[in-house]
Amino acid sequence: MRKTIYYYIAHHVFAVESEKMDCFLEQFKSGMPFLNATPIIDEILFTISLDETLPDWGMASLPEWEINDLCRFDYEQSSCMFSRYKKGYLFRMDFLNGKEPLLMMKDNQISCFHINYSMQKHINIIDFKFALWVAYGIATAPLHTVAMHASTIVYRQQAILFLGESGTGKSTQSRLWIENIPETRLLNDDSPIVRIINNIPIVFGSIWSGKKACYLDENYKLAAIVRVRQAKANAIKRLHTLDSFAALYPSCPPMFAYDSILSDYIHTIITTIIEQTPVFMLDCLPDDESARLTYATIFKKIT
């Protein structure tokens, strides 16, 4: 028997349907803080339907689908493909260990993502979480919402995002702030949600927080964004508009850049963010002074 549960992330409600709901909930512990027991049905944005039987468009000849492969990339132990077809979007994960691929389809005419994810076949909840991240991004981008690859702290009820390529020190800067700047704490360490509400960027916790289990159903106004680069000395500067856009764009879902509709939404969101929020470039060492310098720049020198 299929059961339905509901989640509430960044003020967006979505449903998950499964034949093995008890097993799913046992595995999907990061979703617990975001469960919504009594949603308003009219507010449900989309549904994730699990345990579906889907045709494998990577193995079968389906010319009538008019598939256009947009982007291939690696994630964990899988090779992923993000595609358009004549009715909507396709997403697949092919695993290096040879297990059955994870497939997801979205018809533009309906609000449901069909996915063949099964607790018996795929087992690893990380695979489902990534597919859900893709689905959530597709569904919420039109509503001025984007998941950003960032480490996020909260200081006195204000959020600060640290952006950068993997390994450049985003999480280190969050840790240094927590250790050196009183009243600072972690909100999310991998993929916070930024949503524009009444033209104001608001940062939300999410179920996607990387290796640190920090799943907080909280939200705060965005105070500043800092892109981090490793350097031999600490230095920080505020970026102008074009450089700010260039600093933010790589931290948005990269596969969306290959789809004209989704990329337009992302451009609009980033434009609003940089109109409302200072963006900085931090060249830094992984030391206490880099955190103190950033703090002083954001909260003491902005006029």
Average pLDDT over residues 100-120: 92
pLDDT at 274 over 90: yes
User: Of 296 and 123, which is predicted with more confidence?
Assistant: 296
User: Of 41 and 112, which is predicted with more confidence?
Assistant: 112
According to the model, what pLDDT value does residue 290 have?
A: 97
Q: What is the pTM of this model?
A: 0.95
Q: Which residue is associated with the tokens 């507010």?
A: 43
Decide: 116 and 54 in contact? Cβ < 8 Å. yes
According to the model, what pLDDT value does residue 166 have?
A: 83
What would the pLDDT profile of 49-72 be if each residue is shown by its tens digit?
999 999 999 888 888 999 999 999
pLDDT confidence band for 41 (50 / 70 / 90)? confident
Sequence-distant (≥ 6) Cβ neighbours of residue 29 within 8 angstroms: none
For the chain, which domains are there? 3-143 (no CATH), 146-300 (3.90.228.20)
Q: Which of 154, 149, 126, 122 is nearest to 137 (CA)?
A: 149
What would the pLDDT profile of 147-190 be if each residue is shown by its tens digit?
999 999 999 999 999 999 888 899 999 999 999 999 999 999 99
pLDDT confidence band for 38 (50 / 70 / 90)? confident
Residue 102 and residue 128: Cα distance in Å, rounded? 8
According to the model, what pLDDT value does residue 122 have?
A: 66
Residue 250 and residue 168: Cα distance in Å, rounded? 14
According to the model, what pLDDT value does residue 302 have?
A: 44
Average pLDDT score, the chain: 94
pLDDT at 123 over 70: no
pLDDT confidence band for 303 (50 / 70 / 90)? very low
What would the pLDDT profile of 1-28 be if each residue is shown by its tens digit?
889 999 999 999 999 999 889 989 999 9
Q: Which of 85, 136, 112 is nearest to 253 (CA)?
A: 136
Sequence-distant (≥ 6) Cβ neighbours of residue 168 within 8 angstroms: 228, 229, 230
pLDDT confidence band for 144 (50 / 70 / 90)? very high
